[in-house]
Chain A
Amino acid sequence: MASTPKIIVIGGGLAGLSAVMKIAEAGGKVDLFSIVPVKRSHSVCAQGGINAAKNLKGEGDTTWQHFDDTVYGGDFLGNQTPIKGMCEAAPAIIDLLDRMGVPFNRTPEGLLDFRRFGGTLYHRTAFAGATTGQQLLYALDEQVRRYESEGKVQKYEGWEFLSAVLDSKGVCRGICAMNLRTMEVRTFAADAIILATGGNGAIFGKSTNSVVCTGSAQAAVYQQGVCYANGEFIQVHPTCIPGEDKLRLMSESARGEGGRVWVPKAAGDKRAANSIPASERWYFLEEWYPKYGNLVPRDVATRAIHKVVYEHGLGIDGQPMVYLDLTHIDRATLDRKLEGILEIYEKFVGDDPREVPMKIFPGMHYTMGGLWVDADQMTNIPGIFAAGEAEYQYHGANRLGANSLLSCIYGGFVAGPKAMQYGKNLQAAEGDGGHTAELKRQEEINQRLLSSNGAENPFKIWRELGDVMTKNATVIRYNKNLQAADGQIQRLLERYRNINLSDKSMWANTSFAFTRQLLNMLHLARVIVQGAERRDESRGAHYKPDFPDRNDEKFLKTTKAFFATDTNGPRFEYEAVDTQFIPPRPRRYDAVK
C-alpha cells in the first residue's frame, strides 16, 4: 500500500541503529524510540570484539568454519540457515564498520588486527581497544545522526515502548509509548515495528547488563501474543567482578590475551596470590581441557569454576571466587590490548590487575532466548519484527564470545529492509487500527497503579525476584527448585497487586516506569523457569545434574512459550531445529571436535 512505509524501531543499541540505518538509506521513514539517549544504550558495554572470518592471519579460517563453531558452540540448538547467513555476511560487516571509522586495532601493515576468543581456534575477533561495543555503537550512532540531520530519522529518546497496537485482525499497526518526562501516553502509527530492546539481565537482579535491560518490551508483546523462544537459555559469564550494584564483566579477552584461571591448591590458603608459588596453584581449566585451556566456551568455564568452588571447596579464602591472572604478561602489552577492561577492575575494586591477580566469579550475562522470529526477523504477529539480543535466533543453547555484536548488526540489517518490504505490501487497516483501544488499555493500567494503596515496595519485590532467579535458574538447575521458584514468582505476582507507589507525581517519575517494567519481568521470569523445568536434558548453558546428557531425540527442539490468557501464564510448544547443513555431534571441548 504505502509507497514509503513508515517503520518504528524500538531500541537504539547496535541492532536498532543498524535497522534504522538501512531503512533511512533505502528512503523509508523511520521513528526511533529509546528509553535512554541511544548513544547510552547497553551495547556500549561490550568490550571484547566482534567475530568475522576474515582470515587475515594465514590460518585458513573460513566463514564455514565460523558457522560450524557457532552451531557447535550453541550445542546444535540454533537454526542453521540464519546462522550460516550471518557468518557469511560477517566479513563485509567488518569492512563497513571499518569504513565508518571504528578505530579497530591495526597490524603494522595497517590492516585490521584479530584476536582469539572463546570457542574457536582461530584469530577471528576484530577489536577496538577494550571498548569495541562502544566504538561500534558510536559509529552507527553517528551515521544515524547524519540521517537525523537530513530529516530521514525522527528520534524519540526518553520514550518507553509499552505495547504494540494491534488491529481487529491481529496485525500490528503501531505502538503505544510513554514519555518518561511528561508521563504522557500516546500511540504512534506504523506499517511495521522492529523491537531491538536488548536482553533481560535485570530479571536476575544483579547481572552484567545495563539498568534498562529488563526485557520489559519483549514481555509486553509476549503478553499480547508474540511467541517467546528458548527463554530457559541464559548465559552466565564465568568471569565477573562481584559488586554492590551490579556484576561487572571481566571480558573474555583477558583470557584471549593469555589470562590464566587458577585457585590455590590448598583450601583456605591465606597467602596473598602473588606469594603462592606456581607448584601450589591449580590451573584447573588447563588441566581439564588441554586443547582449549583457559579459552573453553563460557558455559564450560562457568561450570568448572562452580565445581572448583562448591565441590572441591577451593574458592579463594573460602569465598565464591577464583583468580584470573594476567600478571605474567608485560605491562605494555596489557595496556595496549586490554587497558579499558583493566581500568574497570582498578576503578571499581581498587587493585591493579597488572600487579595482582583479579578475583572473579560467574554472573548472569546474556539472553540467548528471545522473541521468536522467522527468516525475515518477523515474529508470529504480522508487522512485529525483532532484532538483536531481544530475539532468539543466532546463538542456540550458548552464545560464543564476540558473536553477539555481529548478530545484532546482522539482524538489524535483515530486519530493516524486510520490514520495509512488508510495509510496502500492507493493506490499509480497518477503522483506527486499534489505536484508541490500546491507548485506553494502557491508560487504565497507569490509573490502576496510581490509585493503588498497597504496602509492597517495587524495588524490594525486584530484589527478591533477582534472588530467586539467580539461585535457581542460572548455572545448575534442579526440577524441584525450578518448581519452587515458579511458585515464588507467582507469590510475587500476587504481592505486586498490593504495590505501593511512593511517588505518584506525573513528571519524570522513574519509579513509576520501573514498577510497570517489574510486572513484565515477573511474567518473563516464569517463561524462563518453566522452560528450564520442562527441558530434561543438559545442553549448552542449560545444565541439569539429574539429566547430565544432551537428549537430541526429545529436545533437539526450540522451546516456544505463548502467553495463555486463561491461566495468566505460559503455555509451551516445541519446534524442530533446522539442522540441514551440519548434523549434530557431541559437543566436547576436552578433545578435538
Chain B
Amino acid sequence: MAERTIKVEIKRQHDPDGTAVVERFEIPYRPNMNVISVLMEIAARPVTVDGKETTPVTYESNCLEEICGSCSMRINGRARMACSALVDNLEQPLRLEPLSKFPVVRDLQVDRSVLFENLKRVQAWVPIDGSYDLGAGPRITPQAQEESYPLSNCISCCCCMEVCPQFNVATGFVGAATIAQVKLFNDHPTGKVLKEERLHALMGDGGIQDCSYAQNCVKACPKELPLAQAISDVGRQVMVQAVKDIFTT
C-alpha cells in the first residue's frame, strides 16, 4: 500500500504586486500534525507534487500555541490559526490562503498593522501617572476580574476583521477587536478616565454604528472573546455619549 500522505494546495504570491498562483504539495503523513508542521516539512523539502523545485512558503508564526496571534490564514476557506489547526481534523487537500482583507506581503503573510493603529486611535491603555512606586492598584472584585480577563485575551489575530461584512478598506470600520478593547479599558477603574475620548474615536466614519451585528466575528474568534456583549455595550456607551455631547455643546 502507498504511504499515507497529506495533500496541500497553497496560494502563493511573490510580492504585494505579484499574481497569485496555487502550488500543490504532497508530504508524508504523521499523526497529530498541525498546519504549521506541514509548512515546516515543505520548508525542509520545497518540491511541489510535480517535482518542481520551489521556495519555502512565507508565513508568520511564533508561539505555536495560539497565544501570539501571528499565524492567522484561511484554511479550507475559514479564517483561523494555523498552529491550532490539526491536520487530522481537516479535509484534504488542505487549502491554505492568506487572509483576504489585508494586503498580502508574500504568500501567506499579510500586513495587519491596521489593528495596532486602531488601538492607538482608541487609546487602548490605562494612563498611569508613572512607573515609579505609587503603592497598590485599585481593589477589584473577583467578579470584575472575571469580566475583564476574557477581553484581555485578544491575541490581535484579526480573524474577526477578516470575516466581518463591514470591515474593508473602504469603510474604515475598526472591527470587533478594537471595540472589545474599548470596553476593557472603559470598564477599568483607572482606564475609564479616557472613556469619552475612546467613545469619540468610535463615532463618525468607521465607527461602531457601522456594525451590522451579524456576529460573524463571534464565531471566528479563536479566543472566544465575548464580542457580541462588547459590541452591544460599547454601542450603548457611544449612544449615551452622543446624547451627552448634544447637551454639552
Contacts and interface: CB of A to CB of B under 8 A. Distances in A.
B131 to A, nearest CB: 6
A551 interface: no
Interface string B15-50: 100000000000000101110110010011110000
A135 B152 CA distance: 7
B241 interface: no
Interface in B149-178: 149, 152-153, 155-156
B139 interface: yes
Contact of A248 (B59, B65, B138): B65
B55 A503 contact: yes
Contacts of A111: 139
A99 B149 contact: no
Contact of B105 (A96, A134, A138, A508): A508
A507 interface: yes
The 6 A-B pairs at the shortest CB distance, nearest first, are namely A110-B139, A98-B137, A503-B55, A142-B125, A508-B106, A101-B126
B87 to A, nearest CB: 9
Interface in A98-126: 98-101, 103-111
Contacts of A145: 116, 119-120, 124-125
Interface in B169-223: 185, 188, 190-191
Contacts of A502: 46, 53-56
A131 B15 contact: no
B72 to A, nearest CB: 11
18 contacts: A40-B156, A95-B133, A96-B133, A96-B134, A100-B126, A104-B145, A138-B152, A143-B131, A145-B124, A146-B125, A210-B64, A243-B64, A244-B37, A245-B34, A457-B44, A459-B56, A502-B55, A511-B43
Contact of B131 (A21, A108, A348, A460): A21
A42 B62 contact: yes
Contacts of B135: 95
Given A210-B63, A505-B55, A39 B185 contact: no
A39 B131 contact: no
A147 to B, nearest CB: 10
Contacts of A25: 130-131
A99 B128 contact: yes
* Interface bin, chain B: 35 or more
Contact of A134 (B67, B124, B145): B67
A585 interface: no
Contacts of A459: 40, 43-44, 56
B140 interface: yes
Nearest to A244: B37
A104 B36 CA distance: 32
B106 A507 contact: yes
B232 interface: no
* Interface bin, chain A: 35 or more
A212 B68 CA distance: 12
A416 to B, nearest CB: 10
A511 B107 CA distance: 13
Given A245-B34, A502-B56, A146 B133 contact: no
A429 B137 CA distance: 45
Contacts of A505: 14, 55
Nearest to A463: B44
Given A45-B67, A103-B152, A181 B127 contact: no
A128 interface: yes
Contacts of A40: 62-63, 68-70, 156
A142 B126 contact: yes
B190 to A, nearest CB: 7
A94 B34 CA distance: 37
Contacts of A134: 67, 153, 155
Residue among A39, A108, A413 with the highest chain B CB neighbour number at 10 A: A39
Contact of A507 (B15, B61, B67, B141): B15
Given A142-B124, A145-B124, 14 more contacts: A40-B63, A40-B69, A44-B63, A44-B67, A45-B68, A101-B191, A142-B119, A146-B125, A149-B123, A244-B30, A350-B86, A459-B40, A502-B53, A508-B15
